[in-house]
Amino acid sequence: MITYTADVKLVLKDAEFVQAALPEKYEIKKEFVTAFDQFAPSTAIFASSTSGLLLSKICADSPNKDRIIIAHPWNPPHLIPLIEICYPENFPDKSAQKAKLFYEELNKMPIILKKEMLGHIGNRLQSAIYRETIDLVLSGVCTVEDVDKALTFGPGLRWGLFGQGLIFHLGGGPGGTREFVKKIGPSLNLWMPDLAEWTEIPAEWAEIGHKGVETEITNRSAEIGNTVQSVKNYRDKMLLKLLKLHNKL
């Protein structure tokens, strides 16, 4: 059980919008919802930062489901604009719309899911990519470093500008997505059945993946970071440049 201090109760008492970054466990988030219901004003909105849990379970016992949402920021949250907002299909969307306006005022990029989904959107996409990353390495196709280079200097450059839908639409020329699927679809269909389908990370990956990334970091030049901390610094510097290109700074 969580013990709430007088300070927490006082903060909730005057809150208008609560963004809670609690551990990724249903029981902890549900306990905080109970405290929110007890101490926060009836007009306050509670936004859970969960990376992929379901709101319907987080607020299952709450009498105030209409003012509880998921609003998932991305790390590093002070730089990445994306905020994924979601709520169960049978919940009213009033709080979600208010939250969207709030984040837009902060120059973030909020999106609202039409229904709740484990992992939301972004984490499902990157999990699918990570599964194929693991499978390629464990199958002996490439090293961790090479698959990261393939992502960074291939799709990653385009993803820094557009999403996959728009990228393939442009790839279809004047005919857009319809033409892309017509021309490239048969080729895609050749390797779709060969993609990884396992549903649990292989036990050996933790060690293999860790050592592979350590080797990758060591092989980087000092200019782009060859220690964990210098890689973080380089990441943040480059994110700032990308955000300026998108007019998000």
Q: pLDDT digits over 97-135, tens only?
A: 999 999 999 999 999 999 889 999 999 999 999 999 999
All domains of the chain in start order, with CATH? 6-112 (3.40.50.720), 122-245 (1.10.1040.10)
- pTM assigned to the model: 0.87
* CB 40, CB 18: distance < 8 Å: yes
- What is the pLDDT confidence band of residue 2, given thresholds at 50, 70 and 90? low
Where on the phi/psi map is residue 96: left (φ > 0), alpha (ψ -120 to 50), or beta?
alpha
Lowest-pLDDT range of 88-92, 141-145, 146-150, 230-234: 88-92
Which residues partner with 48 through β-bridges?
20, 70
- Strand ranges in 56-117 using DSSP code E only, listed in sequence order: 68-73, 82-86, 109-112
The pLDDT confidence band at residue 5, using thresholds 50, 70 and 90, is low
| pLDDT digit string, tens, across residues 11-41 | 788 889 999 888 999 999 999 899 899 899 9
CB contact set of 113 (below 8 Å; sequence gap of 6+) = 84, 85, 86, 120, 121
Mean pLDDT, the chain, integer: 93
pLDDT tens per residue, range 32-72: 899 899 899 989 999 999 998 999 999 999 998 888 999 99
Tokens, residue 11: 């903060």
What is the structure's pLDDT at 42?
Answer: 87
**Spatial separation of the C-alpha atoms in residues 166 and 158, rounded to whole Å:** 10
Q: What is the pLDDT of residues 183-206, one digit of tens each?
A: 999 999 999 999 999 999 999 999
Share of the chain above pLDDT 70, in %: 97
